[in-house]
């Protein structure tokens, strides 16, 4: 924080993006401030505090669910639309954030802009096939959620551009979905494993399954082999066992080297099995 000289409070997205791109001062966007307050670099001269931008709505538009980037975890937890969509998984996941203080301040935009292994929304929003609207100097563009973590993503989120909305496609509303986190206590940010899943059941068959693991790397890991086993299938005990094997095989190929990886993989695969069993038993 040594060089911090200016703090701005833009009222519009355009103004905020202009300030971030101001060549005179190295700037950074601040939303809830829960993460940046601990990690601001010494080169930053200007805080662009985006909390007054009109990005706090949660609404349905054209059938899609739109979540403003400045919605705090607590607002998502309490929101009636978030409780209705995809088995209420957005509210459930938001409620798993470590403490009420953090849930009051931390925003969904900040949570996904700088992915951390233990952040809740990167894996969940990937599993919900979300898209992200990004505002930059030349306008706005909508990207698939997974693209924002690619090395060739064209914007530096928070430095020259801001996420304005998260868009969850209409078909997800009726999907079966779940987010699970296994940690020492409910109040831990760190977890051994976290997983997010979604699928549609059409005439008893699984369609569009999406299987993501968080906590093992900052970028959520998609397990396409496991998705392939259940896709277009009627769930049965045999298919579920096969999908679990594919899930573990998928993780084995990645040769992840975090501590206790064997245990973490086992926990994650059990979460996957439980999700599929809940769908089979009609509990989700």
Ligand X SMILES: Cc1cc2nc3c(=O)[nH]c(=O)nc-3n(C[C@H](O)[C@H](O)[C@H](O)COP(=O)(O)OP(=O)(O)OC[C@H]3O[C@@H](n4cnc5c(N)ncnc54)[C@H](O)[C@@H]3O)c2cc1C
Residues within the interface to ligand X (CB under 6 A): 28-36, 69, 97-98, 102, 105-107, 109-111, 113-114, 119-120, 157-158, 162-163, 189
Instruction: State the nearest-atom distance from the C-beta of 56 to ligand X, in Å.
Output: 11
Residue 35 or 196: the one with the smaller Cβ distance to ligand X is 35
CA dihedral for 82, 89, 177, 258, sign (positive or negative) = positive
**Which residue reads 């997800």 in tokens?**
172
Nearest to 132 by CA among 144, 123, 120, 119: 144
Residue 190 or 252: the one with the smaller Cβ distance to ligand X is 190
Residue 123 or 235: the one with the smaller Cβ distance to ligand X is 123
66's tokens: 């739109």
Residue 209 or 214: the one with the smaller Cβ distance to ligand X is 214
48's tokens: 């662009």
Residue 69 or 276: the one with the smaller Cβ distance to ligand X is 69
Nearest to 20 by CA among 136, 139, 149, 152: 136
Instruction: State the nearest-atom distance from the C-beta of 106 to ligand X, in Å.
Output: 3
Most distant CA pair in the chain: distance in Å?
Answer: 62
Instruction: State the nearest-atom distance from the C-beta of 7 to ligand X, in Å.
Output: 13
Instruction: State the nearest-atom distance from the C-beta of 52 to ligand X, in Å.
Output: 13
98's tokens: 């470590």
C-alpha torsion angle, residues 177, 181, 186, 192 (rounded to 10): 180
Instruction: State the nearest-atom distance from the C-beta of 222 to ligand X, in Å.
Output: 19
């Amino acid at each position: 924080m040594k060089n911090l000289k200016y703090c701005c409070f833009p009222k519009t997205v355009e103004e905020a993006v202009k300030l971030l791109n101001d060549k005179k001062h190295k700037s950074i966007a601040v939303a809830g401030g829960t993460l940046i307050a601990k990690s601001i670099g010494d080169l930053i001269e200007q805080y662009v505090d985006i909390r007054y931008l009109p990005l706090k709505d949660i609404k349905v538009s054209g059938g899609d669910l739109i979540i403003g980037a400045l919605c705090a975890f607590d607002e998502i937890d309490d929101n009636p639309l978030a409780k209705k969509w995809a088995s209420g998984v957005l509210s459930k996941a938001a409620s798993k954030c470590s403490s009420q203080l953090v849930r009051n301040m931390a925003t969904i935009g900040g949570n996904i802009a700088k992915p951390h292994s233990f952040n809740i929304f990167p894996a969940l929003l990937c599993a919900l096939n979300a898209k992200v609207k990004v505002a930059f100097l030349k306008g706005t563009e909508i990207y698939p959620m997974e693209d924002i973590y690619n090395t060739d993503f064209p914007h530096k989120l928070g430095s020259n551009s801001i996420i304005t909305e998260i868009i969850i496609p209409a078909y997800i509303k009726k999907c079966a979905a779940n987010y699970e986190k296994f940690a020492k206590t409910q109040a831990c940010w760190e977890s051994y494993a976290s997983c997010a899943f979604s699928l549609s059941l059409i005439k008893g068959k699984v369609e569009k399954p999406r299987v993501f693991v968080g906590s093992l790397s900052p970028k959520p890991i998609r397990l396409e082999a496991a998705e392939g086993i259940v896709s277009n299938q009627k769930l049965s005990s045999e298919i579920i066992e096969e999908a679990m094997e594919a899930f573990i095989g998928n993780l084995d190929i990645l040769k992840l080297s975090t501590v206790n990886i064997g245990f973490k993989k086992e926990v994650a695969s059990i979460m996957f099995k439980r999700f599929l069993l809940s769908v089979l038993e009609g509990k989700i």
